[in-house]
Amino acid sequence: QVQLVQSGPEMRKPGASVKVSCKASGNTFSNYDITWVRQAPGQGLEWMGWISGSSGNTNYAQKFEGRFTMTTDTSTSTSYMELRSLRSDDTAIYYCAKGSIVGAARPWGQGTLVTVSS
Amino acid sequence: QSILTQPPSVSGTPGQRVTISCSGSSSNIGINVVTWYQQFPGTAPRLLIYSNNRRPSEVPDRFSGSKSGTSASLAISGLQSEDEADYYCAAWDDSLSGPVFGGGTRLTVL
């Protein structure tokens, strides 16, 4: 039974960067594709990107290209997302999920609240 | 403004059947499969329906999905109070080369 456990809440000032981790337990992590999705307060879901567990290939939402990076460390079964040049509208809960959103993304991590405020 | 259009809210009484629509276009729903997610307040989304109409084993068969043309629907029969949640549709969009979500529908059980 795969479980995804994310790192704790973060607070950053505008212009800073944040890195969120997503640690998996269960089967061979190298076979896991990981998707990142965010949800601003009171808003809907927004797809950010996807990273292949087997090849490391990535697909980023155009909106985040250039300031968003996904990586995977198979030795620790952990996937990371880093968002740079943070703005107040980046305040959101960031979720990781195993698989592709349009495939069958499950399970999901518990979410990490990132607050951007001066 | 979401690429996929869902009603902001729907409601029903216990035991009733409700449907949630998801309208897209020829670049997403029209040519790709639809996935549905359920989200309770304060929790992470969970997979409800994939490949238009397939259910994970842990999802009750009261939940069903369908697709026709550029629209999809989620139906919930035998509505229960515990079904009160937000529901999101998603599909790959060939024009954007990525998945898109609907804006979400809040289901209220009266």
Whether B45 and A95 lie within 8 Å, measured CB to CB = yes
Q: Report percent pLDDT > 90 for chain A.
A: 78
pLDDT of residue A79 exceeding 80: yes
From B45, B56, B91, residue closest to A45, measured CB to CB: B45
Looking at CA atoms only, how far is residue A16 from chain B in angstroms?
Answer: 26
Residue-wise pLDDT for B34-86, tens only, equals 999 999 999 999 999 999 999 999 999 999 999 999 999 999 999 999 999 99
Q: Which long-range CB contacts under 8 A does B68-72 form with residues at least 24 apart? A: B69/B29, B69/B30, B70/B23, B70/B24, B70/B25, B70/B26, B70/B28, B70/B29, B70/B30, B71/B21, B71/B22, B71/B23, B71/B24, B71/B29, B72/B21, B72/B22, B72/B24, B72/B29, B72/B34
From B50, B99, B103, residue closest to A44, measured CB to CB: B103
Residue-wise pLDDT for A92-115, tens only, equals 999 999 998 888 899 999 999 999
Residue-wise pLDDT for A45-66, tens only, equals 999 999 998 888 999 999 998 9
